Amino acid sequence: MHWINRLQDRWKLKNSRQVVVVLAVFACTGFTVYFLKSPIVALFVQDEGGNLWFSILYYIFILPVYNVILLFYGFLFGHFSFFWEFEKKMFRRRSRSGNAEQK
């Protein structure tokens, strides 16, 4: 599986098993955020169609929650240090792009 080897090299992991574990953590995090959306939306929006502004705000505010959940699952699966470095790298990229936009 060539794509697993590419991910292993990109993420600097030791073996294919670790790649599968990292992908499982991303999948669990995504499903958790997906399943959290319905109850949260039900608390704030009464109509079935939802509210466009609430959806926009939801996606803005869910990002930090996603990051915390990602670290939680990373810890559960024994790869906390990988995901902690991943989060720091992602934060640095965001802050650099924000600084470039301000110039």
Residues 19 and 7 sit within 8 Å (Cβ to Cβ): yes
pLDDT attached to residue 103: 52
Residues 35 and 46 sit within 8 Å (Cβ to Cβ): no
Q: What is the end-to-end Cα distance of the chain in Å, rounded?
A: 43
**pTM assigned to the model:** 0.80
Cα 30 from Cα 34, distance rounded (Å): 6
pLDDT attached to residue 57: 80
pLDDT attached to residue 97: 73
Cα 63 from Cα 51, distance rounded (Å): 19
Tokens of 88: 């720091």
pLDDT tens column, 17-50 = 999 999 999 999 999 999 988 888 777 777 656 6
Cα 34 from Cα 2, distance rounded (Å): 29
Residue 90 has pLDDT above 90, yes or no: no
Residue 66 has pLDDT above 90, yes or no: yes
What is the pLDDT of the chain when averaged over all its residues?
A: 87
Residue 53 has pLDDT above 90, yes or no: no
